[in-house]
Chain A
Amino acid sequence: MRFALSEDQRMLQDSLTKALAEASPLDRVRRFADDPTDKVADVWQTLAEFGLPGLVVPEAYGGLGLSMLEAALASEALGAAVAPVAFLGAVLAPLALMRGGSEAQRAEWLPKLAAGEVQAAIAIAIAEPIAGARDGAGLTAAAGKLTGKALFVPGGMGAGLIVAADATGGLHLVRGDAPGLSRSLMPTIDDTRRLAELTFAETPAEPLTANDGLTTLRDAAWVILAADTLGAAQVMLDKAVAYAKERRQFGRVIGSFQAVKHLCAEMAAELEPARALVWYAAYAFDHAPQEASLMAAHAKAHTSEIGRFIARTSTEVHGGIGITDLLGLHFWFKRIGQNRQLLGGPEKLREIAARVQGLAA
């Protein structure tokens, strides 16, 4: 029995962290935030060389064939870097194809996804059946065509392939150039990952067959978002601690005041056990399927709660500079805030956690 990352897993995370520091420092993130036409081709190029788009694609299709735990570690690194990358689809689309795609569908799409050829390529339009439909959104499928709207689609603006769920939970593949598909940007708090509103008007779609496909994608999405928040929250804690060691008031560094020191301790005390929960949720996704939904729901709900606490507390430790655009701490603050609401907020997820263990009707 061993509850720890392997040497390979640590190396994967460390080298991705270094690659992101090169390819996507904060000023690169700022340029993306300021330019809606920026496709971050340079950042994607680096990540593709790293193998990130094919992380969970089986080796037979040109991917790395790694597990959800590695995907979670990568997501943590991306959250830590507030990287302007729609990673969710890079994990969920291959999973959808492996669970419910035909051999022809896999052969067509998986190698392209793994190579990063279909750039920023995958959007997951599954918000409605998971989090509940808003403003009349939702998709209906009939005779190989999808009609309706999907809101809050991560990566949806640039997607070359869309995995979409209809109102009954059935999954479909939609090509980015399919007729009747239109996209519009949904401006949100988080300028590091864009969300799209997708409109389908009798848009051709190929169905996927897996019965539990949506549940699998949902659980995977929760783990990935939880890990992203974990990474962002860790950076906010680290920045608060570094600032508290350097900023002087009343002739002392502020980190020597218990009022400030205890805020830092509280953040660390909340964050550290959450890391173990995210690891376990990722492990359970592959190795303990009977617990996968419960742990994924708890991981996402819990990291959202402690993430919110850390985001506001770190900002507070920074004092006035913390709320300025100049410092840029707000990119992490907003990233955490967006992850919290996406694909079910904590209350919704706890409801599902209760349901999957028979504690709610």
Chain B
Amino acid sequence: MDLTLTPEMAAFQGEVRAFLDAHRDDYAGGVPKDVKAWQALLIDHGYAARTIPREYGGYGAEPDILKGRIIAEEFIRAGAPRGIANQGVSMLVPTLLEVGSEEQKRQWIGPTLRGEVIWCQGYSEPGAGSDLASLQTRAVEDGDDFLISGSKVWTSTAQLADMIFCLVRTEPEAPKHEGISYILFPMSTPGIEVRPLKTMTGAAEFNEVFFTEVRVPQANVVGGRGRGWFVANTTLKHERGMLGDPNAAEARLNSLIELMTTETVGGERIVDNPIFRDRLMALQARVFAMKFNGLRLLTAAQSGEGAGLAGLIVKLQGCELNHQIAALAIDALGELGILYHDGAHLRAKGSWQRSYMFDLGLIIGGGTAQIQKNIIAERGLGLPREPSPAKA
């Protein structure tokens, strides 16, 4: 255990701080003045697209997990916005780097990184949620093309997206995991309909997407026909890494402490109520535990060791923790906690209630809590899989 930074890393930290100081005017209020210009500046300095090769439009640095973490911490400290982190950047780009063809990499990575192309993800279907591999959207050969028909759900940003990366069934006779292909196509292709999906928060954070004989060249498949399940797992790995981030939980806990030390009820600060204070401290212990668990994962990744259980539990525990922090904020606010939308007495623009509801979606999405427990038990503890039900 040595949590100090080497001189090299301390110098790197100094560079990041100096950059953020010098460009304070470009992100006043935590929002970039110009999203694409900010992104270009970050790529230039290696604070976005850091390890993506230069030939594809990235910065081209060697992977260095600690530097990555220093960048993340300094941006949080300065209240500076990170670069573009949409599904194209965080999921499609790493997937193309691993399994895309040279042509696909050159065509899509640069424009995606620069924010010129917005992507959405077409994975889940009404009948294929936790059992994603049972998806039914079919792609039927027609000359050099496929004709794609079916529907997708939980497709965030579909209404804004230029492109979709989508899982379709190309081999209906093959076993379910082997008949899927991962394919890219424009959302402007004829035969696509997007319907907003309003959730309990009142906003439409997601969409349903319907395909009717959408014509897509077969050449748009990534990673080989019938290999889509394995390609998708490359992407899902990147998604699970984003959910349950302990830095986000710590930032949220700090907001909760701020709330509880500034709000008063009948002249008494909320934190002076021993019951609320006790709940706050119980959550703080959990936040610290997840934070140090994150440091442990960081060291394991640096030394190329598997993280084992410490890694498998992050999504389950992190999402639940975020949800509990929002729940305590609502309880601490008392009647004020039910205010929503807008109005005179609303606190934090209603964000605690919105988080409480939206985070429930994160507990369910990206592999439900129950699926996570199966993964922990089977991969982490070596317990046997549920026997397959007898074929009806």
Contact = CB atoms under 8 A, between A and B. Distances in A.
B386 interface: yes
16 contacts: A1-B2, A253-B384, A256-B386, A257-B386, A258-B370, A264-B377, A268-B377, A268-B380, A273-B313, A274-B289, A277-B292, A280-B288, A280-B292, A280-B295, A287-B3, A350-B277
Contacts of B372: 265
B300 A301 contact: no
Q: B interface, how many residues as a size bin?
A: 35 or more
A341 to B, nearest CB: 17
B381 interface: yes
B188 to A, nearest CB: 44
A354 B277 contact: yes
B327 interface: no
B292 A262 contact: no
Interface stretch (A2-10, A54-62, A169-177, A213-221): A2-10
Contacts of A253: 384
Given A5-B1, A256-B387, A351-B278, A262 B288 contact: no
A245 B383 contact: yes
Interface string B231-259: 00000000000000000000000000100
A360 interface: yes
A361 interface: yes
In the complex, which range does the number of interface residues on chain A fall in?
A: 35 or more
Contacts of A346: 282
A283 B3 contact: yes
B292 A298 contact: no
B104 interface: no
Interface string A240-256: 01001100000011011
Contacts of B377: 255, 261-262, 264-265, 268
B365 to A, nearest CB: 18
A347 interface: yes
B291 to A, nearest CB: 8
A359 B277 contact: yes
Contact of A273 (B277, B278, B289, B382): B289
A1 B9 contact: yes
The DSSP consensus for interface residues of chain B is helix
Given A277-B292, A302-B286, A354 B384 contact: no
Nearest to B277: A354
The interface residues of chain A, by DSSP majority, are classed as helix
A360 B2 contact: no
A4 B374 contact: no
Contacts of A360: 271-272, 277
Closest 9 CB pairs of A and B: A276-B292, A350-B281, A273-B289, A265-B373, A3-B295, A265-B376, A302-B285, A298-B285, A277-B289
Contacts of A288: 3
Contacts of A261: 373-374, 377-378, 383
A103 B3 CA distance: 33
Given A3-B295, A268-B313, A302-B285, A279 B1 contact: yes
A350 B288 CA distance: 13
A301 B383 CA distance: 30
B389 interface: no
B273 to A, nearest CB: 10
Contact of A353 (B1, B281, B296): B281
B385 A256 contact: yes
B3 A276 contact: no
A212 interface: no
A273 B292 contact: yes
A69 B1 contact: yes
Contacts of B380: 265, 268
Given A69-B1, A302-B285, A245 B384 contact: yes
B118 interface: no
A4 B290 CA distance: 15
B310 A1 contact: no
B383 A347 contact: no
B293 A276 contact: yes
A255 B383 contact: yes
Given A261-B373, A264-B377, A272 B309 contact: yes
A273 B383 contact: no
Interface string B305-321: 00001100100110000
A264 B381 contact: yes
A280 B296 CA distance: 10
A295 interface: yes
A241 B282 CA distance: 27
A14 interface: no
Contacts of B5: 1
B381 A4 contact: no
- Residue from B300, B378, B383 whose CB has the most chain A CB atoms within 10 Å: B383
Interface string A292-306: 000100110110010
A253 B271 CA distance: 48
A299 B289 CA distance: 9
B381 A241 contact: yes
A279 B296 CA distance: 10
B299 interface: yes
B300 A4 contact: yes
A347 B285 CA distance: 12
A266 interface: yes
Contact of B1 (A3, A299, A359, A361): A3
A249 B381 CA distance: 20
A80 to B, nearest CB: 16
Contacts of A351: 274, 277-278, 281
Given A3-B1, A301-B285, A359-B280, A268 B298 contact: no
A346 B285 CA distance: 11
Contacts of A266: 373
A255 B385 CA distance: 9
Contacts of A69: 1
Interface in A336-361: 346-347, 350-351, 353-354, 359-361
B307 to A, nearest CB: 10
A6 B278 CA distance: 35
Interface string B258-273: 0001000000000110
